[in-house]
Amino acid sequence: MSKCRQVWIYSLIIFLLFFSQFGVQEVMALTFIRSLPATGYFTVWLLLTAIQGVGAVVLLYLMGEGEIFRRFEWKWSYLRVTVGTFVLMYFWWYLTVLFLPLPENQARGELLFQDLSGTAFFIQFILTMSLVGPICEELLYRGLLMASLQSFQKYHLDVLISSALFSLIHVLQHGWSVSSFVVYFGGGLLFAGLCRKTKSIYYPILLHIAWNSFVTMLQITMR
């Protein structure tokens, strides 16, 4: 890859990460977006989430890292590691509930969960939160970001940076909070660790979908 092409691609990666961290919230805060009915509002949110995932896929191919999508090996040991990571995720969530304040993003999510119904509920909590969101976040933070930092694997910076930025996207939209950052950083480490262990993006995607779906179903039963 030429130096010029490399700079261009990494500039696009930074732009996509910036859009993920700040751009989505800025778009959703626009007056005409906020004036949409709930179904339209959350459809826009879904589309913006999907754009991030598509952008990550395109950039991975431009980087010459398209092999990541063919890198899948079915092993029972990998499935056991995925299930084990799910259990670790549960214990991490349980410990943070006991000892740390509820992250603002979760608190607002619970309020929204009680308010929404019908199509808007399906779009936000089934499509976006339980399916499209987990896929796109993994493509961006465990796929694109870790691939772009693979030269730093020796120092685990790919894992640490991807986990930190993954945490920030859930925290900064509601204002900085150390405790909230710790909650999501721990989750990010588990996703990134699974990606490194299995050498595949598919197992973290499976775990992320399973975890978000589990949380959604838990909230439904308590509704």
Q: Domains in the chain: how many in total?
A: 1
Residue 35, amino acid: S
pLDDT given at position 221: 83
pLDDT given at position 223: 66
Domain extent for 146: 3-222
C-alpha 53, offset from chain centre: 10
pLDDT given at position 192: 97
| Angle, helix 3-18 to helix 38-62, in steps of 10 degrees | 160
Sort residue 175 into left (φ over 0), alpha (ψ -120 to 50) or beta: left
- Specify whether the CB–CB gap between 171 and 105 falls below 8 A: yes
pLDDT average per 10 residues of sequence, the chain (223 residues): 83 95 93 95 97 97 91 90 97 94 86 87 94 97 93 88 94 88 96 94 97 92 74
CA–CA distances in Å: residue 215 to residues 52, 134, 178: 23, 13, 23
Question: How far apart are the two ends of the chain, measured CA to CA in Å?
Answer: 53
pLDDT given at position 1: 63
pLDDT given at position 193: 95
Nearest to 38 by CA among 111, 115, 128, 110: 115
Helix, strand or coil for residue 30? coil
Cα angle 163-88-108, degrees, rounded to a multiple of 5: 60
Q: Which two three-digit tokens encode residue 117? A: 């119904």
Q: Which residues of 68-88 are buried (b: 16+ CB within 10 A; e: fewer)?
A: beeeeeeeeebeebbeebbeb
